[in-house]
Amino acid sequence: MNTNNGFIALVLFVTVTLCSCEANSSLGNASNENPPNVIIIFMDDMGYGDLSSFGHPTIQTPHIDRLANEGQKWTNFYVASSVCSPSRGSLLTGRYPIRIGLAGEKHRVFFPESLGGLPTSEITIAEMLKELGYKTGIIGKWHLGHLQEYLPTNQGFDYYYGIPYSNDMDGVKWGLETFFAEPDINMWNVPLMENETIIERPANQHTITKRYTDKALEFIQENQNDPFFLYLPHSMVHTPLFASEDFLGTSKRGFYGDVMSEVDFNVGRITSKLESLGIDENTLIVFTSDNGPWHLMLEHGGSAGLLKDGKGTTWEGGMRVPGIFYMPGTVTPGVIEDMGTSLDLLPTIASLTGAPVPSDRIIDGVDLSAVLKDKAASPRDHFFYYRMREIYAVRNRTFKAHYITQTAYKKDNQRRVLEQPLLYNILHDPSEKYDHADDYPEVLAEFQVLISNHKKTVKELPFEMDRYPE
Ligand code: MG
């Protein structure tokens, strides 16, 4: 009897020891006993050039820069759309907007009158991680359908605190001058929600960055002993800009810089919290932005740095954004010049946590975990730049071809279907100035194959953003 018990105890000991070794040495194994927490900090309309670590001369973002310097700074990181709603849907599902009902013919994003949302049949990162018992929270801007059935609480999130769509919607009166006037929360009747209830209207946007972070710290504190997923899509720096008193007048970049400073300070509060709880080495932080800068907003909009154009376009400035990954002891510090995209977050997080990637549908993302851990070459080799239902441009490693060009939010907003594509060496020429279409016909032929193979896999869903009252 005693001998048997001893044998069982030994077997258990060996099993437990092996399991914990495996968990320590190989994040991403399904037997991972202490899977990492995941925090995605998602800016709104912050451009490629708006961080000091990405070259801005008068915006100071020391806390975000620390994540970039001590983690990985990705300089070729893309989002799947140049506007809010489809970019957010793709980040959460790992699928191009066209596959998830977030491409349309009339509207590019959801509005307060919209009847649609991210279809609940889609599987979000939150739903994927809940399979492993994660606690899930979203604090910030949702913008994937504000009617009951589409709220975050029906898309895998245990907790929601934030605004359901953009901070410039529900405008009391429309006019560009309202964006540039003295900030007044009463000009935008946007609601602040907790779970499924409106708790404040209009949302007091002066304090919203601070209050999102207060809620995020509470969420982290409460769930410190469980694995958690915190999605933190800030509503700044989308115009209308708001900052709290403490930050007004602090930046040489002016009001936009003040708002960036406040976001940066609050990113620092998150990392300090993780450190004080001793969970920083078991928490992956991803920091990026939903699309490029909104040039319509002049100095109240951000900067794409050396990239061309901005929000709403398929030029680099619309869809290339800062990408930062930080997890001390796991993410090997460095600058990554290979490609990565927001589509890749779902499979990468699955790999790091041991969560199952949905297998009953096409996932457009690829697993970047080997780049994060070992600085391996990125498996992401090509990317389609969609605008609504159409592919406007494609990048395949070194080259990017444009088939349709169009700017956005400008009077001369003409859509041009090009007879001959434009071809840029995007590594040499990130500003897209020097066309090489005549020099590389074989590259363009290869692009055609990529496009036609991709199109064969696309099944369009009803256009959720075009669903409006009769
Ligand atoms: Mg945006």
Torsion sign (Cα): 62, 68, 74, 78:
negative
- CB distance 86 to 273 below 8 Å: no
Per-residue confidence band for 325, with pLDDT thresholds at 50, 70 and 90: very high
Domain assignment of residue 1, yes or no:
no
Q: What is the pLDDT of residues 135-183, one digit of tens each?
A: 999 999 999 999 999 999 999 999 999 999 999 999 998 788 999 999 9
Task: Please give the mean pLDDT across all residues of the chain.
Answer: 93
Residues 371 and 391 in one domain: no
What pLDDT is recorded for position 318?
A: 98
* Same domain? 400 vs 348: no
Is residue 342's pLDDT more than 70?
Answer: yes
Please state the separation of Cα 93 from the chain's center in Å.
11
From the CA of 294, how far away is ligand 1's center (Å)? 8
**Model pLDDT, residue 32:** 73
- Same domain for 370 and 405? no
CATH of the domain at 414: 3.30.1120.10
Domain-embedded: residue 25: yes
The single residue of 56, 84, 107, 238 carrying the catalytic annotation is 84
Task: Among 327, 351, 378, identify where a domain stops.
Answer: 378
3-state SS, one letter per residue, for the chain: CHHHHHHHHHHHHHHHHHHHHHHHHCCCCCCCCCCCEEEEEEECCCCCCCCHHHCCCCCCCHHHHHHHHHCEEEEEEECCCCCHHHHHHHHHHCCCHHHHCCCCCCCCCCCCCCCCCCCCCCCCHHHHHHCCCCEEEEECCCCCCCCHHHCHHHCCCCEEEECCCCCCCCECCCCHHHHHCCCCHHHECCCEEECCEEEECCCCHHHHHHHHHHHHHHHHHHCCCCCEEEEEECCCCCCCCCCCHHHCCCCCCCHHHHHHHHHHHHHHHHHHHHHHHCCHHHEEEEEEECCCCCHHHHHHCCCCCCCCCCCCCCCHHHHEEEEEEECCCCCCCEEEEEEEEHHHHHHHHHHHHCCCCCCCCCCCCCCCHHHHHHCCCCCCCEEEEEECCEEEEEEECCEEEEEEECCCCCCCCCCEEEEEEEEEECCCCCCCCCCCCCCCHHHHHHHHHHHHHHHHCCCCCCCHHHCCCC
Read off the pLDDT of each residue in 239-253 and give the average, rounded to a whole number.
97
Cα-to-centroid distance, 287 and ligand 1 (Å): 14
CATH number assigned to the domain comprising residue 324: 3.40.720.10
Question: What percentage of residues in the chain have a pLDDT greater than 70?
Answer: 93
Q: Does 448 lie in the same domain as 367?
A: no
Single residue among 345, 378, 411 that ends a domain in this structure? 378
Q: What is the pLDDT of residue 411?
A: 82
Distance CA 64, CA 250 (A): 17
* pLDDT 10s digits, 345-362: 999 999 999 999 999 999
How many whole angstroms separate alpha carbon 238 and alpha carbon 220? 25
* In-domain check, residue 243: yes
What does the pLDDT look like over 93-145, one tens digit per residue? 999 999 999 998 999 999 999 999 999 999 999 999 999 999 999 999 999 99
CA 254 to the chain's CA centroid: 26
Mean pLDDT of 246-257: 98
- Is residue 50 located within the same domain as residue 169? yes
Best CA proximity match to 139, nearest among 161, 156, 155: 161
Answer whether residue 321 is part of any domain: yes
Residue 10: its pLDDT value, please?
Answer: 37
Q: Contact 313/67 with Cβ under 8 angstroms? A: no
Confirm whether 41 is domain-assigned. yes
The answer to whether residue 26 scores a pLDDT higher than 60 is: no
* Ligand 1 mean position, distance from CA 240 (Å): 12
What is the arithmetic mean of pLDDT over 184-209? 97
| Residue 3 falls inside a structural domain | no
| Centroid of ligand 1 to alpha carbon of 44 (angstroms) | 4
Please indicate, yes or no, whether residues 282 and 352 belong to a single structural domain of this protein. yes
**Burial class, 328, CB count within 10 angstroms (exposed 0-12 / middle 13-18 / buried 19+):** middle
Contact 191, 200 (CB under 8 A): yes
Domain extent, residue 163, equals 9-378
Active site residue 143: yes
How far does the centroid of ligand 1 lie from the alpha carbon of residue 290, in Å? 5
Lowest-pLDDT range of 77-86, 204-213, 455-464:
455-464
Number of domains observed in the structure of the chain: 2
To 10 degrees, what angle do helices 255-277 and 208-222 make?
10
Same domain, yes or no, for 247 and 172? yes
Q: Report yes or no: 159 and 219 within 8 Å, Cβ to Cβ.
A: yes
Please indicate, yes or no, whether residues 318 and 462 belong to a single structural domain of this protein.
no
pLDDT at 47: 98
Burial of residue 348 (number of CB atoms within 10 Å: 0-12, 13-18, 19+): buried
Longest dimension (CA), the chain: 87
Asked if the model's pLDDT at residue 2 lies above 80, the reply is no
188 and 118, same domain (yes or no): yes
- 195 with 318, same domain? yes
How confident is the model at residue 460, as a pLDDT?
85
Residue 63 within a domain: yes
Same domain? 336 vs 405: no
* Confidence label for 407 from pLDDT (cuts 50, 70 and 90): very high
CA of 447 from ligand 1 middle (Å) equals: 29
Q: What is the CA(83)–ligand 1 centre distance, in A?
A: 5
Question: What is the Å distance from ligand 1's center to 238 Cα?
Answer: 6
CA of 118 to the centre of ligand 1 (A): 16
9 pLDDT tier (thresholds 50, 70, 90): very low
pTM of the model: 0.93
Domain limit, last residue, from 320, 351, 378 = 378
Q: Is 402 in the same domain as 354?
A: no
pLDDT value at 415 more than 70: yes
**Considering the domain boundaries, does residue 50 fall inside one?**
yes
* pLDDT at 49 (0 to 100): 98
Confidence category of residue 7, pLDDT binned at 50, 70, 90: very low
Query: Of residues 56, 63, 107, 143, which has the active-site annotation?
Result: 143
